[in-house]
């Protein structure tokens, strides 16, 4: 998608800030807004879409998943190690430089978050009559 923006194949797109910010800083792309409700710490000069469309929020997120039958002790160990790496100065600093906010929630909190996001976007699809073909 970023390549399509850079070449003019598409006039506009939603993309992750971390993907397009370097191109914006080089003057190759213009970021119109961020889709978080608060300005991005790495680029506070970029307005939020919510400042024009009240209530608008669309976040990208990443997480670690494992098979459902993974033993709890293994899940706990993976979580511990992942959070330690995520919050290490090198990783956390690099993510923040890219405009990514490291979270590292618990497996239970992440499970609830994924369920809420799934329900939220399913409702958007239902209201817009979006169907998989």
Transcribe 6-57 into DSSP letters: HHTSSS-----HHHHHHHHHTTS-----BSSSS-BTTBTTSPBGGGTSTT--
pLDDT at site 47: 96
The reported pLDDT for the residue numbered 97 is 85
Q: Is 118 helix (H, G, I), strand (E, B) or coil?
A: helix
- What averages of pLDDT result for each successive group of 10 residues across the chain (133 residues)? 93 92 94 93 93 92 93 96 95 88 91 94 95 86
Tell me whether residue 34 is exposed, middle or buried, using C-beta atoms within 10 angstroms of its C-beta: 0 to 12, 13 to 18, 19 or more.
Answer: buried
pLDDT, residue 96, reads 86
Question: Euclidean distance between the first and final Cα of the chain, in Å?
Answer: 22
């Amino acid at each position: 998608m970023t390549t399509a923006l850079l070449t003019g194949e598409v006039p506009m797109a939603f993309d992750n800030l971390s993907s397009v910010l370097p191109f914006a800083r080089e003057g190759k792309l213009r970021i119109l807004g961020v889709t978080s409700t608060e300005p991005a710490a790495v680029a506070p000069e970029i307005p939020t879409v919510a400042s024009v469309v009240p209530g608008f929020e669309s976040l990208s997120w990443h997480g670690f998943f494992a098979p459902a039958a993974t033993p709890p002790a293994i899940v706990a160990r993976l979580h511990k190690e992942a959070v330690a790496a995520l919050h290490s100065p090198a990783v956390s600093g690099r993510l923040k430089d890219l405009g990514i906010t490291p979270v590292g929630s618990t497996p239970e909190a992440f499970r609830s978050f994924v369920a809420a996001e799934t329900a939220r976007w399913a409702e958007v699809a239902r209201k817009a009559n979006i169907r998989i073909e």
